[in-house]
Amino acid sequence: MRQTGIWGLALALAVAGGASAHAAAYPERAVHLIVPFAAGGPADVYARYLGQNLSQALKQAFVVDDRPGAGSIIGTDTVAKAAPDGYTLLVMSNTHTTNESLITKKPFMLMRDFVPVAPINSSDLVMVVHPSVPATDLKAFIALAKSKPGGLNYASSGPGTPYHLAGELFKAMSGTDITHVPYKTSSGARNDVIAGQVQMMFDAITTMAPNVRAGQVRALGTTGRTRTAILPDVPTIAEAGVPGYEATIWIGVMAPAGTPAAVVETLNAAIGAVVDRPDVRKAWADQGAVPMKMTPPAFDTFLRADIAKWAEVVKVSGAKVD
């Protein structure tokens, strides 16, 4: 009996040692970062930045693969169906937490079919209008919108995206009726607002701030709790005329459900090391992005709270998939 116990212990130690060695070896080949949004948007931009740094840290290529479509559903479903081995990861955003209540008929459920790995960063949005719009501040814009119910349009990168929900929340809280014009990509929406094809848009400050500075669009408000250092002369929407208004965009990484915990921990530590670097924090601060760092369990809690938050916004605003 004693000898059998010794052999059993030896076998258990051998198995544990083998598993540790395998985890220590990860990654042994290229890792694919699936971005379910179009090139040029915040998720794509920061996925590429993260991928470069992870490639250097973990000595394997981290390849960014943009697969936009259907409000992030297409690319996300690709990852949900991938092998849970850590070699196919999802770069996601609060589009995903919003879609849990906005789009109920999906081929996946976020917290069932994925495991949280780590957040990356967050940033405010900025509400902009084309210079031809006869409103130089938020109160004037609200008055204009109320005088022309349904007569003004706002662009977004598609149903369920932070840009869409920011617009629906604004409509609900300001008492305005503005028509949603969904695009397939944020760049398409952005370009048409700059061209004057659509009057207004909520966009990530990290991508739209240069256009504001160039005078291509007029900023009426930012969506954070306090003014941003990137556009310090632009008031928050809350202070400019819609008290209590707040909306942000954040980006994170998830993996298919069943991915080994050791792999998740390796990725979490590597991503955390990137966002902790002073040069990264400064570069992102200059763009208006705030680094985020959480353990996988903390990120899980964050995601569930965000799903609940946006479910309430969807309910209050009456937002629907167009």
Distance between CA atoms of residues 155 and 136, nearest Å: 19
Distance between CA atoms of residues 90 and 34, nearest Å: 5
End-to-end CA distance of the chain: 69
CA 291 to chain centre: 13
Average pLDDT over the chain reads 91
- What's domain 29-122+250-317's superfamily in CATH? Bordetella uptake gene, domain 1 (3.40.190.150)
Distance between CA atoms of residues 169 and 157, nearest Å: 16
Q: pLDDT (tens digit, 9 = 90+) per residue, 33-90? A: 999 998 888 899 999 999 999 999 999 999 999 999 888 999 999 999 999 999 999 9
Which pLDDT band holds residue 23 (cuts at 50, 70, 90)? low
Quick one: pLDDT at residue 15? 42
Quick one: pLDDT at residue 38? 86
For the chain, the structural domain boundaries read: 29-122+250-317, 124-240
Which percentage of the chain shows pLDDT scores above 90?
A: 80
94-102 and 296-317 helices cross at what angle (nearest 10)?
50
> Quick check: 167 and 178 in contact, CB under 8 A?
yes
Per CATH, 29-122+250-317 and 124-240 having the same topology is answered: yes
Phi, psi at residue 201, to the nearest 5°? -160, 145
Q: What is the mean pLDDT of residues 186-208?
A: 95
Task: Kindly report which listed range (15-24, 85-94, 138-147) carries the lowest average pLDDT score.
Answer: 15-24
261-276 and 2-25 helices cross at what angle (nearest 10)?
40
Residues in the chain: 322
Phi, psi at residue 168, to the nearest 5°? -65, -40
Q: pLDDT (tens digit, 9 = 90+) per residue, 94-130? A: 999 999 998 888 999 999 999 999 999 999 999 999 9
Q: Give SS3 for 124.
A: strand
> Quick check: 65 and 226 in contact, CB under 8 A?
no
Distance between CA atoms of residues 64 and 219, nearest Å: 32
User: In 10 A of CB 20, how many CB atoms?
Assistant: 11
Phi, psi at residue 238, to the nearest 5°? -65, -40
Quick one: pLDDT at residue 322? 56
Q: Give SS3 for 201.
A: strand
Q: pLDDT (tens digit, 9 = 90+) per residue, 221-260? A: 999 999 999 999 999 999 999 999 999 999 999 999 999 9
DSSP 81: T
Quick one: pLDDT at residue 170? 95
Which residue in 322, 250, 265 sits closest to 297, CA to CA?
Answer: 265
Q: What is the mean pLDDT of residues 180-190?
A: 91
> Quick check: 63 and 33 in contact, CB under 8 A?
yes
Distance between CA atoms of residues 236 and 169, nearest Å: 15
Distance between CA atoms of residues 249 and 204, nearest Å: 7
Kindly indicate whether the domain formed by 124-240 is annotated with CATH number 3.20.20.70: no
Distance between CA atoms of residues 280 and 41, nearest Å: 19
70, HSE (Cβ side, Cα atoms, 13 Å):
11
